[in-house]
């Protein structure tokens, strides 16, 4: 197996996956109403585990503290507590704070492979590891297994590999590239706390933007929107308020809240 890593070669069969659809509630004729479990070979998992260890140093070096997705010692509870703490600080200093919650549509399935190799190169990943990942993706094949039988094998041309332990790590690199191009670290928009400017918190593809004014938030949102679409990621477009882009406004100078729900081209406002 180590020889494969050194030579960037992938043994035949390691790129194959078997997809098993698990129905959710709703119309069984709609593909979106199914969860999918991906089965991959145990031999490939051994190789992927070694590769994951090789990539870990680059994860720690390249990803910022605001990214908590699939990282050791971090989780959604950390990001939730950070948001609560920021809201309390805004109220303490009587500042307004606007939050925008972005939900990308099928983010892991929309990753462009050619762009991914470019991003990994810019992140300083060694060429032999990039070549190995490219070979794994280039030869991806899958079949769908149901109670009625198994489909023919078909190739997969985009997205990070389902069921692969490297997929969260690779997507984090991809998302970090988008945020860097959006210039979130350089912009002055955000919440100033203890001498630090905070304008985003992330958990893999779930992104929260924040600013002290509505105009600043809209500016951040539009910049991230453009860079995301340049990398083939788009926010959910749905009339359901649980999807897409949600924006919340907390007023620090008086009691009360207002909530704005943003979608591309659609805005609703609620107050209480």
The domain spans of the chain are 2-266
Closest CA to 104 of 228, 19, 197, 249: 228
Quick check: 255 pLDDT over 70?
A: no
Instruction: Report residue 14's pLDDT band, with 50, 70 and 90 as the boundaries.
Output: confident
Q: How far apart are CA 208 and CA 169, in angstroms?
A: 19
- Which SS3 state, helix, strand or coil, does residue 153 take? coil
**pTM, full prediction:** 0.81
CA 259 vs. chain centroid, Å, equals 24
- Is 185 within 8 Å of 62 (Cβ atoms)? no
Report helix, strand or coil for 193. Answer: strand
Return the half-sphere exposure (C-beta side, CA atoms, 13 A cut-off) of residue 133.
31
In this prediction, residue 242 carries a pLDDT of: 38
Q: Give residue 57's pLDDT.
A: 94
141/153 Cα distance (integer angstroms): 6
Whose structure tokens read 């991806």? 140
Q: Residue 249: how many CB atoms within 10 A of its CB?
A: 19
- Checking if the pLDDT of 45 tops 50, the result is yes
Least confident residue range of 23-32, 132-141, 190-199, 229-238: 229-238
The mean predicted confidence, pLDDT, of the chain is: 82
CB-neighbour burial class of residue 172 (10 A; exposed 0-12, middle 13-18, buried 19+): buried
> Is pLDDT of 6 > 60?
no
Confidence of residue 259 (pLDDT cuts 50, 70, 90): very low
């Amino acid at each position: 197996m180590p020889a494969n890593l050194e030579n960037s070669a992938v043994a035949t069969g390691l790129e194959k996956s078997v997809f098993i659809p698990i129905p959710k509630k709703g119309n069984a004729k709609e593909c979106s109403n199914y969860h999918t479990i991906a089965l991959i070979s145990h031999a490939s998992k051994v190789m992927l585990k070694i590769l994951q260890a090789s990539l870990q140093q680059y994860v720690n070096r390249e990803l910022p503290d605001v990214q908590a997705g699939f990282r050791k010692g971090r989780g959604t509870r950390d990001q939730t507590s950070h948001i609560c703490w920021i809201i309390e600080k805004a109220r303490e200093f009587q500042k307004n704070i606007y939050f925008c919650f972005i939900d990308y549509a099928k983010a892991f399935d929309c990753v462009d492979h050619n762009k991914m190799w470019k991003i990994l190169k810019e992140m300083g990943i060694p060429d032999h590891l990039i070549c190995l990942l490219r070979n794994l993706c280039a030869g991806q094949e899958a079949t769908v297994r149901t109670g009625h039988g198994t489909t023919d094998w078909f190739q997969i041309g985009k997205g990070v590999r389902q069921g692969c332990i490297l997929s969260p790590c690779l997507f984090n690199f991809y998302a970090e590239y988008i945020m860097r191009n959006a210039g979130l670290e350089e912009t002055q928009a955000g919440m100033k706390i203890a001498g630090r400017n905070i304008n985003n918190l992330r958990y893999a593809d779930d992104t929260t933007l924040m600013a002290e004014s509505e105009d600043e938030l809209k500016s951040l949102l539009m910049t991230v929107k453009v860079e995301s679409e340049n990398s083939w990621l788009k926010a959910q477009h749905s009339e359901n308020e649980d999807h897409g882009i949600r924006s919340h406004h907390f007023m620090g100078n008086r009691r009360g809240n207002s909530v704005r729900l943003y979608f591309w081209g659609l805005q609703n406002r609620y107050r209480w």
